[in-house]
Structure formats: structure tokens, C-alpha cells
Structure 1
Amino acid sequence: MELASKITLRQLELFCAAADHGSFAAAAQALYLTPNAVALAVRDLETALNAHLCIRQRSRGLTLTPSGTYLVELARRLLREADELCRGVGSFGGPLRGPVSVGCYSTLAATVLPPLMEGFRDAHPGLELRIVDGTVNDLLPMLQGGEIDVMIGYHFGMPGDLDHVVLFDTEVHVLLPADHRLAGEESISLTDVLEDPLILLDLPPSGDHTLHMFSRAGVRPKIAHRTSNFELVRSLVARGFGYSVLIQKPANDESYEGRRVVAKRIVPQFSAESVVIAWPSPVRLSDRAQALVDYARLTVAEHQWTPARASGKANE
């Protein structure tokens, strides 16, 4: 405790800011302080810990030492917990207040986030929901670094060190132009479209997942185009450039250009998938984040296409 009494949260905050911005000057500008104030806080922190935390070079900015790299992760965690302590005590016995942030996989964002944002705002008016969308590769570092509280995506794209709650179940389908020879079929197999060109949604991890599914089926698709743009995939399919294999199924059966597409179930189904909301296993969710998880678990599915709803069955 004697050592801890020599360290302040403000010193840790300024040290983390210097690490994030790459220099004392940039951190000072972001925090409306003088560079000397940031440098002094870091120097006092080094003195208290008897450790060299960073190397200052005019041409290259600030570089963390191994001790500094170790400390910055601990400091960020401690600052989050201190912030949570203040918010928790301040809202004890009353409505939840403050920010909660969620990342969402891009192709899910358009149908998952708007109803979630609207309903959560009404249920918890004191909470400020912050959102970000992107690929799994974009969102995972943000989740693990504490920049977002939770992440919504497909279970197949999540690493094993995350806790999660299933929001709804869905499955892969084939997307065809409206005038395709198989458009009138109730369902199709992957072998039915093997001679057609594939428009591959190559947005991590969807592209690898699709190709793995073909591999499991023992067939090889003819890839004509790759794109990370979900709506471009639908537009190319609608114009007859090929078919695609997707999970997300918008309620609208038209492309941006107003051309019709049709979705067909794959039989046999090689990839039934779950959409989950996840967070790092070692992290205890804040009350605000837990409220978001609970609300999402109860409400997200009712706004989404699911195989059960498509067949007239109620979701479990």
C-alpha cells in the first residue's frame, strides 16, 4: 500500500494517453494540457515504480519499454475499473447512467443495430449506446483492448476465449437472380450451382467460412468476383453475374437498383449458424453492458430473419 499511495490515477491516465498518442505533445494537445505536465506525470510515475517506462526520441516520438508495455495494459484495466466504481456507486439504487459501447459485424449491422438502438434507448434512457461496425478483424482488437464493451457477430468468427450469449439462429442460403433457372425451386443443393460463377462476399471471416463450407461438401466453386461489400454482392447477383452464398437475409428482396433476387435454402444444410453477443472471458461486464446483453438476448431475434420464422415456427 505504501507504493500504491505514491501512484495516482491521473498519472496512469496521462501515461496511457502518451502511449496512445505516441508523444507527450500529442497527448497534451488531446487533453488540453502542456507537454511538460504530461512529461512530469510520467516522470513521477517512473520514479514511484523505479522503472524506465518509455524512450523519448524527437524523430520517432515515444516508444514504450517492456515495463511500459506491461504497465499500460494494467493501467487501462485499472482506469476502467475506477471509472466503473464511480459510475456504480453513483447510480446505486437508481437508473443506470453512462456510456455502453457495442461493435457489430458489418453485414449484421443494418438489421441488428437500428431496432436494438431504438428499443434500448426507450428501456434505459439514462444510458448512451455507442456503436461501431466493421469486420471481425477490426472489432476483436477493440473488444480485447476495452474500446468496446461487447461485440455482435457470427459464432464461427469468434475466438474461443470469449464468453457469449446466443441472440438467434440462422443458416446459409444461396442468392440467385430472379430469372435464374432454379429460381422456382423450393430448395437447392450446392452441386446445382457449381457450373455458375460465384460472387464471393470476402469480408472476414465470411469468405473463408463460405469456402470451407464448399470444401465440406466436397465441391469447388467457380469464383468470378470477390468483394467485401454486401450490397454489391446482391446487385451483381441481381444483374445475373452469378450466384452468392450468404447468411444475412434482408427483408427486402431487391437490390439497390430495384432488381429482384431470390434466396433458396441449401439442402443438405452444411452450415447452420448462430448470431451471438460476446465479451472477453476474464472481464466482468459492467452493469451497463450487462443491461445491453440482457436486452439484446430478449429482443434482437424478433426483428431478424430466421429459418424457424421462415417455416412458420416460433423461435425458441
Structure 2
Amino acid sequence: MDADSSSPTSPSSPQITLRQLELFCAAARTGSFTAAAQERYVTPNAVAGAVTDLETALKVRLCVRRRARGLELTGAGEALLARAQHLLVTAEDLVLNIGDHDGAPRGPVRLGCYTTLAATLIPPLWEHVSAHLPGVRLDMVEGTATELAEQVTAGRLDMLIAYEVGLSPELAARTLFTTEPQVILPADHRLAAHRAPVPLTELAEDPLILLDLPPAGENTLELMRQHGLRPRIAHRTTSFELVRSMVARGFGYSLLFQRPHIDVSHEGRALASLPTEPALPAEPIVLAHDHQVPLTSRAAAVAAAASELFARTPHQ
């Protein structure tokens, strides 16, 4: 066999380092050499040099520098970004677990959670992970489904928990549980007394307090449109608790997919949470990650723990 052709240091073999890939991914994620340099604690020239070295080694243009809009990845840059993120995650996983003879996962797992779900899902998951995966550290981020999905595909989050509706097909999702929409009424509302399913047609003239945290707002309105209703929106808010407080004070009703265990507003005023007539479709709560980037062993362990925990925990 020709020694030159088999040598790992052959001049024809591009020399690429993990550090170059790390700085390239930071530049792609932040949109500029300066921001990437601040994030990785190096100089902008170091980031630019890493990208240039990659372009030289690969013989392709990875990004275009635009003064007004920052960096824009080329097609080759997009392809490299997806593979580089995978490689960096694998390398990090290797470092964290090398010599780990007991097989226990260890290291940080960055998990995003849809804002309205965080208060009821994150504490039990945190407790469960602490008890069963002591080597794993959860780093939590809250936000809208769109914000969290962008962070997952950019590599800033390993996974997210959110409603399935509106999630990008680029994410691979597993269902944790499903939840059915409930009408939220003041406790003294005319339709609350019988504790029976609320006919949606009976709410046609009532004002709606709309939870407008994407994708909840549009999803709620679409469900109502499908049943011939054109709700009169009295107030829009991204705050789950403000919706409940406004309803409890009698300013209108709301339609929510999440029901706290206590039918009392933040102010201590009574609420009624009732099913609808006709019944509206249940919505899956899912755990999702970028389908192009396999989960690390520790992230996969957290995903399995979440599935096990929420499968045996009743939710509404």
C-alpha cells in the first residue's frame, strides 16, 4: 500500500480542528465574528481566521460577510453547520463520559419549556432527574414555541417541551401526554353552576380573554372558527395568570389547554374550569429535538426520564 496515500497527515487530507468548528458554529449562531468572539472569549480575528482556515481546507465558501446584515451562510455553510454541531456534541459527550465505568450519564442538558407549562412540568422533572440522574445538570430556558425551536435548531438547546401544534417538521417529537381544552369561567358565571360541559354556542356573546402566547392564541381562535364562532376579544395577553385573574374578576371567559390543580386565580378569586360541548380535540405535549442532531447520552437519559415520569403522572 502507498504510505503517502494512507497517511493521516497526507497533504491531500484537509486539516480541520474541533476549535475551528466551534468558532464557525458560534459565528453562524450569532451572525457576526464580533459576537462570536465575545461568546467564546477570543478575538474577532481568531474567529475570522478559523472560518478562513475551514474554507481553505474544504475549498468552499462557507459564508458571506455583509456589512448591514452580518454573516449569511452559503449552502455549503449550512451543510457544514448541521454536521459540525453533531460532531461537537459527540465530542463533548465523549469527553464527559470517558472513563465513566458505571455507565451513568453526566454533564449539562439544556432544556427549553413553553412558558405556560414550565411551572407545572419543570419542578417534578427537575426533582426526578436529580433523584435518578445525579450526574446530569438541567439548564432551563422558558419561551414561546417559536423561540425555543429556533434555539434547538441553532444548537443552543438540546431539547424543548411544548405543545405539538405549530412545531417545525425539522424537530423530532415524542408525546409526553395529551391535554384537553377547558373553558375558564368566573365561579358565579351563569354556565358554571351545573358543572357540566359548556356549549360553545352559549359563549357567542361573551367577551374572550385570549392567551396570545404563540402558538396558543391563533390555535384557540382557529378551534373556535371551526365551530362557527367568531369570538369578541376583550383583551389579549401573553400572561397565563393574567388571563385567569381577568376571568375571575368577570371580564370574560377563556379557553385554555392547561388547568392548574386549584381553580383559584392568583388573587385568590374562584374560577370554574369545564369541558366544552362539543368536546375539542386534545393537544399533545411533546419533547422535541433537532432530527439532524442525535441526542447525547445524557440528553437521551433525560428524555427517557421525562417520558416515564409524565406517563404515570395524571395531567389535565
Fold conserved (TM > 0.5)? yes
Distance, in Å, in 1 between the alignment partners of 2:215 and 2:289 is 18
Question: Compared with structure 1, are the counterparts of its residues 25 and 208 closer, same or farther at alpha carbon in structure 2 (3 Å cutoff)?
Answer: closer
Question: Compared with structure 1, are the counterparts of its residues 73 and 118 closer, same or farther at alpha carbon in structure 2 (3 Å cutoff)?
Answer: same
Correspondence list, 1:100-139, <5 A: 100-139=109-148
RMSD: 2.5
Aligned length: 306
Say whether 1:293 aligns with 2:303.
yes
Distance, in Å, in 2 between the alignment partners of 1:52 and 1:283 is 23
In the alignment, which residue of structure 1 is the partner of 2:208? Answer: 198
Cα drift, residue 162 of structure 1? 3.5
Question: Compared with structure 1, are the counterparts of its residues 29 and 221 closer, same or farther at alpha carbon in structure 2 (3 Å cutoff)?
Answer: closer
Correspondence list, 1:198-237, <5 A: 198-237=208-247
In the alignment, which residue of structure 1 is the partner of 2:284? Answer: 274
Cα drift, residue 64 of structure 1? 4.5
Cα drift, residue 43 of structure 1? 3.1
In the alignment, which residue of structure 1 is the partner of 2:253? Answer: 243
Question: Compared with structure 1, are the counterparts of its residues 18 and 137 closer, same or farther at alpha carbon in structure 2 (3 Å cutoff)?
Answer: closer
Which of 31, 50, 54 is the equivalent residue of 2:59? 50
Please give the per-residue CA displacement for 1:62-105, whole angstroms capped at 9, x wherever unaligned: 55555444433432232222223333444354321111121111
SS at structure 2 position matched to 1:156 = coil
Correspondence list, 1:168-207, <5 A: 168-187=177-196, 188-207=198-217
Say whether 1:11 aligns with 2:26.
no
Distance, in Å, in 1 between the alignment partners of 2:143 and 2:46 is 36
Identity %: 50
Distance, in Å, in 2 between the alignment partners of 1:209 and 1:60 is 33
Structure 2 unaligned blocks of 5 or more: 1-7
Please give the per-residue CA displacement for 1:134-179, whole angstroms capped at 9, x wherever unaligned: 1111111112222222221222333444333322222111000111
SS at structure 2 position matched to 1:175 = strand
Please give the per-residue CA displacement for 1:167-193, whole angstroms capped at 9, x wherever unaligned: 222211100011111121222111122
| 6-15 vs 173-182, greater mean Cα deviation | 6-15
Cα drift, residue 245 of structure 1? 0.5
Question: Compared with structure 1, are the counterparts of its residues 34 and 107 closer, same or farther at alpha carbon in structure 2 (3 Å cutoff)?
Answer: closer
Distance, in Å, in 1 between the alignment partners of 2:255 and 2:265 is 15
Question: Compared with structure 1, are the counterparts of its residues 56 and 266 closer, same or farther at alpha carbon in structure 2 (3 Å cutoff)?
Answer: closer
In the alignment, which residue of structure 2 is the partner of 1:313? Answer: none
Distance, in Å, in 2 between the alignment partners of 1:162 and 1:66 is 20
Cα drift, residue 223 of structure 1? 1.6
Structure 1 unaligned blocks of 5 or more: 307-316
Say whether 1:31 aligns with 2:40.
yes
Does the aligned pair in 1 maintain the 2:207–2:252 contact within 8 Å?
yes
In the alignment, which residue of structure 2 is the partner of 1:265? Answer: 275
Correspondence list, 1:48-87, <5 A: 48-55=57-64, 64-87=73-96
Which of 148, 154, 165 is the equivalent residue of 1:145? 154
Which of 262, 266, 276 is the equivalent residue of 1:252? 262
Does the aligned pair in 2 maintain the 1:167–1:301 contact within 8 Å?
yes
Distance, in Å, in 2 between the alignment partners of 1:58 and 1:126 is 44
Cα drift, residue 45 of structure 1? 2.4
| 201-210 vs 242-251, greater mean Cα deviation | 201-210
SS at structure 1 position matched to 2:258 = coil
Question: Compared with structure 1, are the counterparts of its residues 79 and 209 closer, same or farther at alpha carbon in structure 2 (3 Å cutoff)?
Answer: same
Does the aligned pair in 2 maintain the 1:102–1:131 contact within 8 Å?
yes
Does the aligned pair in 2 maintain the 1:197–1:241 contact within 8 Å?
yes
